[in-house]
Amino acid sequence: MVWLHPVLGILAVLLILWTGMAGLSARQRDPSAPAKRRLHHRFAPVAGLLAGLAAVAGTLTVIFVRDDLDVAASWHFRAGWLCVLLATGSWFSSRQLHQRPGRRRLHPWIGLALMATAVAV
């Protein structure tokens, strides 16, 4: 179980960055925008799920394997769970879930915060 957290975390960070960049480039007015939008729509939930699984695996690893660490004492723990919170907020503000323009305008900003937090983890 010790290797599960870093593998899931690395995959989550890479997928968050890739889908975030696809989402940002989908906002441009060029011929590839619809394809980027489809990629973003398809893989962003997977990135959020991977972030959640990485956070749970890391927390369980500290509880059951790493007796030398406190569960919520590190910035890494807080940043990881902040990624999960931001991914959830991004999902709630997505176009598919809500048609309210105010929430939709928040979506790219939450995504940018998620990408920055993922890099910081």
- Among 117, 121, 5, CA closest to 59: 5
Position 17 pLDDT exceeds 80: yes
pTM of the model: 0.89
Mean pLDDT of 29-49: 94
Span 68-77, average pLDDT:
91
**C-beta separation of 92 from 114 below 8 A:** no
Q: How confident is the model at residue 29 (pLDDT cuts 50, 70, 90)?
A: confident
Residues 6+ apart with CB under 8 A from 65: 1, 2
Residues 6+ apart with CB under 8 A from 13: 118, 119, 121
Number of neighbours of residue 27 by Cβ within 10 angstroms: 11
Read off the DSSP letter of residue 30: S
Average pLDDT, integer, range 80-92: 95
Distance of CA 68 to the CA centre of its chain: 28
What is the Cα–Cα distance from 97 to 120, expressed in whole angstroms?
28
